[in-house]
Amino acid sequence: MKTSTSFRMMRSACPVIVVAILAAGSAAANLIENPSFELGPEPGEAMLLEVGSTAITGWVVTRNAIDYCGTRWEHAQGQRSLGLNGANPGGVAQTFATAPGEGYDVSFLIAGDSFSTPALKHLRVTAAGQSEDYEFDITHSWPWGMAWIAKTFSFTANSGSTTLEFYSLDTGDTGPALDSVVVDGPPANVPPGDEGSLALESPYPNPAPIACSIAFTVPAESPVRLSVIDMQGREISVLAHRTYAPGRHVVPWSGEIAGGRARAGIYFIRFASLGTTLVRKAVITP
């Protein structure tokens, strides 16, 4: 059965359990619009969205109706997430531009309807004719601590646009929950290798417990802005903002951000120079 409002009243007395996504994305790098489903109608406890609905910005409901969840349970990020079983197994999909032949990494957080049976919930992800199935055990999951876990899926694009779909494999009105979808890969309008000798390397080490270093290359004397972006797309630290000589340069990030030290989670390093913006993921571990 669905979670009742009596369980939701216990949230304020219990810690929120959130697992950070171990993959890339940001307002600049994530190819998915509205990745945490925050843009949409006010769902209250939960709103049933019928198949074909586009009420959640950027997404379309597929297969069967889903639950657009508000106060029903704790979310991995923000104030909204999805229960993929309305009365039957449903799904959501989004189409975005891709570069044929290039690889893409999809990261997302999965949980499940608490206090329901069976305990194992199942979800399938599909894109470009490729798919993978995932399982979540709700045994130690509660509405006030959903125990969201990070999962990843990779695919190779076969056309200029790709539809990514998440859907439940469970019958009935309870099943998997979904939040925080991130797609990382080359944008379709910037062919790989078409950036001249401009380059931004992945932070090292990555994941990092506290600090990391970021290396980049410029082909000529160039102005550079290197900054740290959070999951909401906000610039929270500027690591460099000046002109650099041609060649490879290394800039450290101590983990400091505006207002203190970065918490464990996922961040993005944004490099802007000569009209080009490059982004790489950075994961800070507990």
- 162-200 pLDDT, tens digit per residue, is 999 999 999 999 999 999 898 887 765 544 444 457 888
* CATH number of the 5-184 domain: 2.60.120.260
What is the structure's pLDDT at 3? 58
Which residue's entry shows tokens 């044929």? 100
Amino acid identity for residue 154 in this structure: S
Q: How far apart are CA 190 and CA 129, in angstroms?
A: 23
What is the structure's pLDDT at 195? 45
Whether the model pTM is above 0.85? no
Residue 221 has pLDDT above 50, yes or no: yes
Domain ranges of the chain: 5-184, 199-284
Q: How far apart are CA 157 and CA 213, in angstroms?
A: 31
Q: How far apart are CA 50 and CA 257, in angstroms?
A: 42
Q: How far apart are CA 249 and CA 199, in angstroms?
A: 10
4-47 confidence digits (pLDDT tens):
443 433 433 333 333 333 333 333 357 888 888 998 999 999 99
Nearest one of 212, 231, 206 to 283, comparing CA atoms? 206
Asked if 5-184 and 199-284 have one fold, the answer is no
Average pLDDT for residues 257-276, to the nearest whole number?
86
Residue 80 has pLDDT above 80, yes or no: yes
Sequence-distant (6+) residues with CB within 8 A of 12 are: none
Q: Is 12 helix (H, G, I), strand (E, B) or coil?
A: helix
**Residue 282 confidence class, pLDDT cut points 50, 70, 90:** confident
pLDDT greater at residue 263 or residue 88: 88
* Number of residues written out for the chain: 286
What is the structure's pLDDT at 144? 94
Amino acid identity for residue 161 in this structure: S
- The two beta strands, 60-62 and 247-253, are unpaired
What DSSP designation does 2 have? P
Nearest one of 184, 154, 181, 156 to 166, comparing CA atoms? 181
CATH class for the region spanning 199-284: mainly beta
Residue by residue, DSSP assigns 180-220 as: EEEEES--TTS-TT-STT-EEPPPBSSSBSS-EEEEEEESS
Sequence-distant (6+) residues with CB within 8 A of 120 are: 135, 136, 137, 138
**Contact of 70 with 49, CB cutoff 8 Å:** no
**Contact of 181 with 127, CB cutoff 8 Å:** no
**Contact of 35 with 21, CB cutoff 8 Å:** no
**Contact of 93 with 58, CB cutoff 8 Å:** no
Exposed e or buried b for every residue in 53-65, given b needs 16+ CB within 10 A? beebebbbbbbbb
